């Protein structure tokens, strides 16, 4: 039987893979829905964004902790994980600022709707955070 | 400022794997791995826990790189 450290390592790697998949889904979604202003289509996207943001918090670790009788959280939300989370938030923040500086002048030449700009910026923020976290998590075990 | 450490040497002296040490002090293996590779600087609490696990002083495990 696997020890709790080994099980938490497996979980941690799975979470990193989920983050990469989520980043891909978000990227494909923003490209596929570009130029589409339908209010109805916004709701599933907002739900996807909301779930992604929740995944970037400590909530998944807390849920797994609760499901494993209060021991798993210690290993899934330890100091290194918390530092990786902060680094991923930082990456998302700076990528959003940089992207805003790049996108805003472009929209003066090629008009883009507010919804599209919001979609692009939120996607850049989340994809940067997700990929940073996934890379840090996967590299930490090497 | 680089923080050198002798964590790997101490761990091997005690015949512990990274996973065994991680379980002993209640952290993930990646924490032990990143500390050993000087990627992550642990908090005072974690440094004290590690020192206690090897019955050592914190400064025996962690030293500032004087050449920096």
Which residue does chain A place closest to B17, by CA atoms? Answer: A5
Considering only residues A136 and A61, tell me which one the structure prediction assigns the higher pLDDT. A136
> Is the pLDDT score of A70 beyond 80?
no
Average pLDDT over residues A81-106: 96
Interface test with A, best of B21, B25, B30 (most A CBs within 10 A): B30
The mean pLDDT of chain B is 92
The per-residue pLDDT for A142 is 82
Cβ atoms within 10 Å of A140's Cβ, excluding its own: 22
Residues 6 or more apart whose Cβ sits within 8 Å of residue A115: A37, A42
A10, A30, A37, A77, A112 from A121: Cα distances, Å: 32, 10, 16, 28, 13
- For residue B63, the SS3 value is strand
Average pLDDT over residues B1-23: 92
pLDDT of residue A57: 93
- Minimum distance, in Å, between the CA of residue B68 and any CA atom of chain A: 24
B16-35 mean pLDDT:
94
> ∠ CA(A97), CA(A99), CA(A105), 5° rounding?
110
The DSSP secondary-structure symbol of B56 reads -
**Greater model confidence, A84 or A72:** A84
Residue A114: per-residue pLDDT: 87
Any B CB within 8 A of A86 CB:
no
By the CB < 8 Å criterion, does B36 face chain A? no
Residue B3, φ and ψ in degrees, nearest 5: -105, 110
Q: Rounded distance, CA A35 to CA A117, Å?
A: 10
Q: For residue A68, give the nearest of A139, A142, A3 by alpha carbon.
A: A3
What average pLDDT does chain A have?
90
Parallel, antiparallel or unpaired: strands B62-64 and B3-5: antiparallel
Task: Kindly tell me if the per-residue pLDDT of B68 is higher than 60.
Answer: no
Which chain A positions have a beta carbon within 8 Å of B29's beta carbon? Answer: 5, 9, 141
The complex's ipTM works out to: 0.87
Looking at beta carbons, which residues of chain A come within 8 Å of B26? 74-75, 78
């Amino acid at each position: 039987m696997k020890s709790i450290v080994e099980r938490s390592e497996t979980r941690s790697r799975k979470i990193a893979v989920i983050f990469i998949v989520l980043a891909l889904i978000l990227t494909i979604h923003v490209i596929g829905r570009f130029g589409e202003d339908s209010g109805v289509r916004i709701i599933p996207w907002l739900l996807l964004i909301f779930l992604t943001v929740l995944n970037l918090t400590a909530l998944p670790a807390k849920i797994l902790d609760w499901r494993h009788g209060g021991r798993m959280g210690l290993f899934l939300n330890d100091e290194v994980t918390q530092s990786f989370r902060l680094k991923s938030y930082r990456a998302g923040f700076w990528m959003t600022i940089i992207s805003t500086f790049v996108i805003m002048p472009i929209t003066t030449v090629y008009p883009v709707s507010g919804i599209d700009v919001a979609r692009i910026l939120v996607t850049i923020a989340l994809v940067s955070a997700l990929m940073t976290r996934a890379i840090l998590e996967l590299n930490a075990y090497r | 400022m680089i923080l050198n450490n002798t964590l790997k040497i101490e761990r091997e002296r005690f015949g512990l794997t990274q996973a065994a040490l991680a379980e002993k002090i209640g952290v993930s293996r990646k924490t032990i791995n990143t500390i050993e590779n000087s990627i992550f600087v642990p908090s005072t609490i974690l440094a004290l826990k590690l020192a206690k696990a090897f019955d050592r002083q914190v400064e025996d495990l962690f030293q500032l790189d004087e050449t920096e």
